[in-house]
Structure 1
Amino acid sequence: MPGRAAIWLARGFLAAVACSSVAWGATTLPAFVAQTRLDGARDLILRNVPVSDAELDDLGPLLSRTAARSDCMPAVDRSAAVIRLRLAENALASGDRVDDRMGELDAAVRKSLGCAPADPYLWLVLFWLRNTRQGLSDANFDLLRMSYRLGPNEGWIVVKRSAMALAMLDALPPDLSGAVVAEFARLVKTELYTEAIDLLKGPGWLHRDRLLAGLAAVPQRNVDILTRTMADIGYDLDHLSPAERRDLERKSNDRLDELARMPPAAMARP
């Protein structure tokens, strides 16, 4: 009899564990599936893959539930903020529901940062958002400073941040403009040449003299690789970019055509 009682007790315990496992699975599985879906969309967006509103429509209920929750789920909240960013960017491109999308993004970013404040990318997003909605303001520079402070060496963030900061370099206070120049130098020093070249021939071209001067402490070998590669693709760092050279040639050709059409007497005038 004692042996039989022990068997029934063990069976009861196993049944209770099984029921608990089923209940736990029923509770956590929907959350896991939701996070997986949000994370998948987030990863595409962070890789700069174009994602339309139509492709994000199915995530609307998940985004709404995430926004309505008062508790913290850092991974889910971060994914929701990144997706809201793409929705806001799409709205800016189309001109549709801009205010709504910007407001939703602001709330999502603040919620995510409230749960996990050490996220340099979302501080950068918040800086962009506030400037887009309110205009460039000294009050917003601390948001950019937080991004630099928390993520000085994360390559994928560096590229996005540098592109944004170089576009407004002349408007930045000295500490931030210095951080932009130093960040470019780190790209070259760590041999991230593709990223450095994209920045230099893009938003950094107007500031090339300052960016190149900031390479003084970078190994000369790295600087030589950068300058040779830029020359190979048509960018003379001391003179013109391909676009500027084409524009100069076009103006020269236009002037020659104009002279060719002028009568000899007009061409001889001083």
Structure 2
Amino acid sequence: MPGRAAAWLARGVLAAVACSSVAWGTTTLPALVDQTRLDGAKDLILRNVPVSDAELDDLGPLLSRAMAEKDCMPAIDRSVAVIRLRLAENALASGAQVDARMGELDEAVRKSLGCAPADPYLWLVLFWLRNIRQGLSDANFDLLRMSYRLGPNEGWIVVKRSAMALAMFDALPSDLSSDVVAEFARLVKTELYTEAIDLLKGPGWAHRDKLLAGLAAVPQRNVDILTRTMADIGYDLDSRSPAERRIWQHKSNDRLDEPARMPPEASARP
């Protein structure tokens, strides 16, 4: 009898475990599937792969379900925010559903940051979003400061953040403009030359004097590599970019093509 009772007890425990496993799978597996699908789209977007609205249509129910969930789901919430960013960018490009998409992005980013506030990328996204919806303000600059404070050395964020900040460099408060210059110097110091060059010949070209002055504490070897590489692709850091040089040469050629003109007093002579 004791042996039979033990056997029945063991069977009961196994049955309970089996039921628990089934219940866990029923509730957890769909969430894991949802997260996998959302993460796949998020990863493509963060790698700057073009993703159209049509390609994201199937994720609509997942996005809505995630936003309706009151509990924190940090990984899913972050993926939702990134996907909402791409949908908002697509809306801006097409001019359709802009207000609705911006509102959905704002809600998604705030939900994600509410659960995981140490995300420097989403603070940057929120800064971009609020500037579009409300214009530049002191409160918005605090969002950019949060991004710098929480993610000073994450290379892929640095490139996106620097490009955005350099595009509005003249409007930045002094502490943030100093952050931009220091961030550029870190790119050169850590030998991320491709990223530094793209920024310098792009949105940073108008501010190259300040960016180059910020390299004073960077090893000279790194600065020399940057300077030589810029020269190799046609950018003279002391003078003109290729586009500026072409404009200058065009104007010079126009002047050379003009017929010589005699001064008025000379033409009046017999």
Q: Which interval holds the TM-score relative to the shorter structure?
A: over 0.9
The answer as to 2:226 corresponding to 1:226 is: yes
Q: Which position in structure 2 is the counterpart of 1:268?
A: 262
The correspondence of residues 158-197 of structure 1 with structure 2, limited to 5 A, is: 158-197=158-197
Q: Which position in structure 1 is the counterpart of 2:268?
A: none
The answer as to 2:86 corresponding to 1:92 is: no
Could you tell me how far apart the structure 1 residues matched to 2:37 and 2:147 are? 27
Deviations 1:188-214 (A, max 9, x none): 011111110010000000000110000
Deviations 1:10-68 (A, max 9, x none): 12211221121111111100000001111111111111010000000011011111111
Q: Which position in structure 1 is the counterpart of 2:155?
A: 155
Could you tell me how far apart the structure 2 residues matched to 1:175 and 1:183 are? 12
Q: Which position in structure 1 is the counterpart of 2:130?
A: 130
The answer as to 2:209 corresponding to 1:215 is: no
Could you tell me how far apart the structure 2 residues matched to 1:80 and 1:251 are? 51
Mind listing any 5+ residue stretches in structure 1 that lack a counterpart?
none
RMSD (Å) for aligned C-alpha atoms:
1.2
Deviations 1:203-240 (A, max 9, x none): 00000011000000000000001000100111100011
TM-score by length of 1: 0.95
Q: Does 238-247 or 3-12 show the bigger shift?
A: 3-12
Mind listing any 5+ residue stretches in structure 2 that lack a counterpart?
265-270
Could you tell me how far apart the structure 1 residues matched to 2:66 and 2:263 are? 76
SS in 2 for 1:49: coil
Q: Which position in structure 2 is the counterpart of 1:118?
A: 118
Deviations 1:164-209 (A, max 9, x none): 0001111001000000000000110111111100100000000001
Instruction: Report the Cα offset of residue 3 of structure 1.
Output: 1.5
Q: Which position in structure 2 is the counterpart of 1:139?
A: 139
Could you tell me how far apart the structure 2 residues matched to 1:8 and 1:256 are? 105
Q: Does 99-108 or 2-11 show the bigger shift?
A: 2-11
Q: Which position in structure 1 is the counterpart of 2:59?
A: 59
Identity, in percent, stands at 87
Could you tell me how far apart the structure 2 residues matched to 1:245 and 1:111 are? 49
Q: Which amino acid aligns with 1:46?
A: L
Q: How many residues align?
A: 264
Q: Does 135-144 or 31-40 show the bigger shift?
A: 135-144
SS in 1 for 2:70: coil
Could you tell me how far apart the structure 1 residues matched to 2:42 and 2:252 are? 49
Deviations 1:45-99 (A, max 9, x none): 1110100000000110111111111111111111100000000000000000000
